[in-house]
């Protein structure tokens, strides 16, 4: 906005205010005794005073009407399916990247109309109040009519401003090859599952494209190390966790566990150096003590935009977060029979102890976007300003994992399988299956892969499995319909990172046996049987320098097997080395592993 234009606008508003108020009361103290509507003396004193009046009215209108403007903008953006949702960010992109003067002038024209109509509303409202006090009813009627027209003009100007910026931004995106797919995705006329698939566009400037099927904590340090070298990382997240903080959300809303999704996004944000106010907010948890009435009040502090972490956000971003938290809160209270807060007991709503604000925002986004988890995740990622992708392996909600043991027994639910007592149960896990409930002997399910995951595999330059709990975090991905075939069709490095330690699930297994199970499972769920190197091309195996059966935290180092080198005959490269983190016993060296993954395309 040019300084001269802004000065003229404010002075014009101030002049109108002086003329208007002079019709109601005389202004002798302001040296305008002879001021009338037909005789105006544009002296220096008048211009200065008019500017002061206009500036005061502008500040007053900004204070009282700006919240309404943000409400209108957010409502329109949500209604039109824009996943970015932040108008200021779109405006910034236009100013930073657009070279069209006509476009900038058009946007400034809309902003000027907004400011003028807003000032007229505020100034006329003051005139309206004064006319009522002085019983000038004819002036009251005139002021009321002006307020109606100005308010309507203000509303229309807001809508046209949002439309102009929104569609101009999309138009500019379409002119760029690297960003045209995002513009296509944001079209409100396209189904989310079709349009969202276009955002997995490979951008060489972000680095090598890596797709990782792995657990949460096992890959965390490696993920952060990789993110410093490439932002083209796609994490594929399991959706059968039935424990932890996601359990209550899953049971209360009948949706997939979102905790692992949020954790993967936060890991990527940390690796990309995006640890700001937004990430701090999404990592924040409610108290782990107290009854639900107290915890609900704590949650309302976020919903009402009163918590200090909310106040630290940019207002435009804060409004988006509040909108999603309100969706979550409304769904929570709706599922609780819409009871009043004052009448709630501990058993009336889901357990909120240690609840993650990030999880709540993600669930709220899920409900706000017609229960489409892919759109909800994309919006969440945009709020964190990260480049990497995180997708659930499937869009199924009611999914649980069942472990079948050698002795014929079964264990239902990931929490039970992970905590299997390897000393009390003298039996190994034979295979795993999917079920839609935790009941024993429930029928096995076949589930379809998330289209976003299949799309990411088509563009991957390196595909990674592990490290992580083999039977609950790695192998189940292969059992999802479509994954084995998609994996076999890619002629790129496919790397299996073996665990360092023998976890409860793999007690008694060697890495060689684990690889046999993995390859066998791939062929079982593929349409045709294929050679082993169609599924895995490289195996990263840790060779400890310790003697004998050395243990760490009561866990043995995972044995390699008697003849792991035999996979070389199948066209699979075996990389055996000491991959342990010297600063974190029992964990992989993230720098070493990331270097292998980034350079493996050259070997």
Give the DSSP per-residue string, 376-416: HHHHHHHHHT--SEEEES---SS-EEEEEETTS-EEESHHH
Higher local confidence (pLDDT), 305 or 192 = 305
Helices and strands (H and E) in the chain: how many: 22, 14
Specify which of 161-170, 190-199, 367-376, 567-576 reaches the highest per-range mean pLDDT: 567-576
Domain count for the chain, please give it: 3
CA distance linking residue 383 with residue 278, whole number of Å:
7
**Neighbouring C-beta atoms of residue 529, cutoff 10 Å:** 9
Query: Which residues are within 8 A (CB) of 343 and not within 5 positions of it... i.e. 6 or more apart?
Result: none
The predicted structure's pLDDT at residue 197: 47
Residue 518 pLDDT: 96
100 or 274, higher pLDDT: 274
The least confident of 232-236, 381-385, 460-464 is 381-385
Q: What is the pLDDT of residue 603?
A: 59
**Of 345-349, 496-500, 555-559, highest mean pLDDT:** 496-500
How many residues in the chain? Answer: 603
Task: Tell me whether residue 376 is in a domain.
Answer: yes
Whether residues 122 and 194 share a domain: the answer is: no
Q: Is the model more confident about 390 or about 185?
A: 390
pLDDT of 441 over the 70 cut: yes
322 and 218: one domain? Answer: yes
- Is the same domain home to 195 and 170? no
Q: Are residues 370 and 408 in the same domain?
A: no
Tell me, what's the pLDDT at 537? 95
- The set of residues, in sequence order, having a beta carbon less than 8 Å from that of 393 and lying 6+ positions away, is 213, 236, 237, 238, 239, 449, 450, 453, 476, 477, 480, 483
596 Cβ contact list (under 8 Å, min separation 6): 495, 540, 575
The whole-number average pLDDT for the span 529-533 is 93
Closest CA to 19 of 45, 43, 53: 53
Instruction: Name the pLDDT band for 425 (thresholds 50, 70, 90).
Output: low
In a domain, 470, yes or no: no
pTM over 0.75: no
Specify the pLDDT at position 56: 75
**150 and 126 fall within a common domain:** yes
Out of 148, 180, 212, pick the residue that ends a domain. 180
Query: How does residue 551 score in pLDDT terms, banded at 50, 70 and 90?
Result: low
Rounded CA separation 80/362 (Å): 19
Domain that holds residue 405: 401-443
Residues 265 and 325 in one domain: yes
User: pLDDT category, 323, cuts 50, 70, 90?
Assistant: confident
Report pLDDT for 529. Answer: 92
Instruction: Report pLDDT for 124.
Output: 75
Please compute the mean of the pLDDT values over residues 7-22 and round it to a whole number. Answer: 70
Query: How far are the Cα atoms of 269, 299, 302 from residue 305, in angstroms, in the given order?
Result: 24, 10, 5
pLDDT of residue 113: 75
Q: Are 445 and 400 in contact (CB under 8 A)?
A: no
Kindly indicate the confidence band of residue 597, based on its pLDDT and cuts at 50, 70 and 90. very high
- Report d(CA 580, CA 542) in Å as an integer: 7
Contact call for residues 373 and 250 (beta carbons, < 8 A): no
User: Does 485 map to a domain?
Assistant: no
Q: Are 225 and 334 in the same domain?
A: yes
CA dist 427 and 509 (Å) reads 11
Residues 111 and 139 placed together within one structural domain of the fold: yes
Among 158, 180, 202, give the residue marking a domain's end.
180
Mind listing the pLDDT tens digit for each residue in 284-306?
Answer: 998 888 788 888 889 999 998 88
Q: What is the mean pLDDT of residues 472-485?
A: 94
Identify the pLDDT of residue 183.
31
What was the pLDDT predicted at 187? 34
274 in the same domain as 321: yes
Copy the structure tokens of residue 395. 């869009």
The answer to whether residues 199 and 83 belong to one domain is: no
To the nearest whole percent, how much of the chain has pLDDT over 70?
Answer: 74
Do 196 and 169 reside in the same domain of the chain?
A: no
Higher pLDDT, 28 or 180: 28
pLDDT computed for residue 407 by the predictor: 83
Any domain includes 533: no
- Domain-embedded: residue 535: no
Lowest mean pLDDT among 71-75, 242-246, 288-292: 71-75
Lowest mean pLDDT among 142-146, 474-478, 550-554: 550-554
Residue 4 scores a pLDDT above 80? no
What does the pLDDT read at residue 424?
59
Residue 384 pLDDT more than 80?
yes
298 by DSSP, 3-state: which? Answer: helix
Query: Mean of the per-residue pLDDT values for the chain?
Result: 78
Residue 576 within any structural domain of the chain = no
Q: Which residue has the higher pLDDT, 334 or 562?
A: 562
Give the separation between CA 113 and CA 158, rounded to whole angstroms. 9
In a domain, 108, yes or no: yes
The last residue of a domain, from among 129, 152, 180: 180
Same-domain pairing of 265 and 149:
no
111 domain-assigned: yes
Q: For residues 401-422, give the mean pLDDT.
A: 85
Confidence tier at 104 by pLDDT (50, 70, 90): low
Per-residue pLDDT band for 90 (boundaries 50, 70, 90) equals low
Looking at residue 517, its pLDDT comes to 95
Contacts of 448 (CB under 8 A, 6+ apart): 394, 395, 396, 480, 481, 482
> pLDDT-based confidence at 186, cuts 50/70/90?
very low
For residues 379 and 373, what is the distance between their CA atoms, to the nearest angstrom? 10
Query: What is the pLDDT, as a whole number, of residue 3?
Result: 66
The confidence score (pLDDT) of residue 42 equals 56
DSSP H or E segment with residue 434 = strand 429-435
C-alpha dist (Å) from residue 583 to 224, 587, 588: 16, 9, 10
* pLDDT greater than 70 at residue 348: no
Q: Residue 101: what are its φ and ψ, rounded to 5°?
A: -70, -35
Q: Tell me the CB-side half-sphere exposure of residue 526, using CA atoms within 13 A.
A: 19
Reduce the DSSP state of residue 573 to 3 states and report it.
strand
């Amino acid at each position: 906005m040019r300084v001269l234009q802004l000065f003229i606008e404010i002075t014009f508003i101030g002049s109108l205010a002086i003329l208007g108020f002079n019709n109601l009361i005389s202004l002798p103290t302001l040296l305008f005794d002879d001021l009338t509507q037909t005789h105006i003396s544009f002296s220096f004193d008048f211009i200065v005073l008019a500017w002061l009046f206009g500036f005061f009215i502008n500040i007053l209108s900004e204070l009282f009407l700006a919240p309404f403007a943000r409400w209108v903008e957010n409502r329109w953006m949500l209604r039109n399916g824009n996943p970015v949702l932040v108008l200021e960010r779109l405006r910034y992109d236009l100013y930073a990247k657009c070279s069209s003067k006509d476009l900038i002038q058009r946007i400034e024209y809309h902003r000027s109309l907004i400011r003028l109509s807003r000032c007229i509303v505020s100034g006329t409202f003051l005139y309206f109040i004064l006319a009522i006090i002085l019983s000038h009813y004819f002036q009251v009627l005139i002021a009321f009519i002006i307020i109606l027209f100005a308010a309507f003009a203000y509303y229309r100007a807001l809508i046209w401003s949002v439309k102009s910026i929104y569609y101009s931004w999309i138009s500019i995106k379409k002119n760029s090859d690297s960003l045209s797919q995002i513009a296509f995705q944001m079209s409100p006329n396209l189904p989310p599952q079709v349009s969202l698939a276009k955002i997995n566009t490979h951008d060489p400037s972000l680095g090598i494209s890596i797709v990782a099927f792995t657990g949460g904590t096992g890959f965390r340090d490696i993920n952060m190390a990789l993110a410093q070298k490439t932002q083209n990382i796609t994490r594929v997240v399991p959706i059968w966790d039935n424990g932890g903080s996601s359990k209550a959300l899953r049971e209360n809303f009948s949706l997939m566990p979102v905790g692992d999704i949020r954790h993967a996004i936060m890991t990527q944000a940390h690796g990309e150096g995006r640890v700001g106010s937004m990430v701090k907010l999404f990592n924040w948890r409610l108290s782990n003590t107290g009854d639900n009435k107290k915890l609900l009040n704590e949650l309302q502090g976020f919903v009402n935009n009163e918590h200090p972490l909310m106040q630290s956000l940019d207002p435009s971003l804060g409004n988006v977060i509040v909108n999603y938290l309100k969706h979550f809160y409304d769904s929570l209270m709706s599922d609780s029979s819409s009871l009043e807060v004052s009448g709630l007991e501990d058993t009336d709503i889901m357990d909120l102890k240690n609840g993650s604000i990030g999880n709540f925002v993600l669930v709220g986004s899920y409900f706000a976007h017609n229960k489409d988890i892919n759109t909800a995740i994309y919006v969440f990622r945009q709020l964190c300003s990260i480049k990497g992708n995180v997708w659930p392996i499937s869009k199924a909600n009611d999914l649980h994992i069942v472990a079948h043991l050698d002795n014929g027994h079964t264990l239902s639910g990931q929490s039970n399988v992970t905590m299997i007592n390897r000393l009390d149960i003298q039996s190994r896990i034979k295979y795993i299956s999917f079920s839609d409930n935790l009941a024993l002997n429930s029928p096995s399910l076949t589930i379809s892969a998330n289209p976003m995951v299949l799309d990411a595999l088509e563009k991957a330059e390196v595909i990674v499995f592990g490290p992580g709990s083999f039977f609950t975090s790695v192998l189940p991905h292969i059992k999802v319909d479509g994954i084995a075939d998609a994996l076999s069709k890619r002629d790129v490095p496919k790397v299996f990172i073996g665990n360092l330690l023998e976890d409860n699930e793999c007690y008694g297994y060697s890495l060689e046996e684990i690889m046999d199970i993995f390859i066998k499972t791939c062929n079982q769920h593929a349409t045709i049987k294929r050679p082993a190197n169609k599924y895995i091309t490289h195996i990263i195996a840790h060779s400890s320098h310790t003697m004998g059966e050395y243990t760490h935290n009561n866990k043995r180092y995972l044995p390699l097997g008697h003849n792991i080198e035999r996979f070389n005959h199948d066209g699979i490269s075996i990389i055996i080395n000491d991959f342990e983190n010297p600063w974190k016993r029992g964990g992989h060296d993230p720098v070493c592993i990331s270097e292998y993954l980034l350079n493996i395309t050259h070997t």
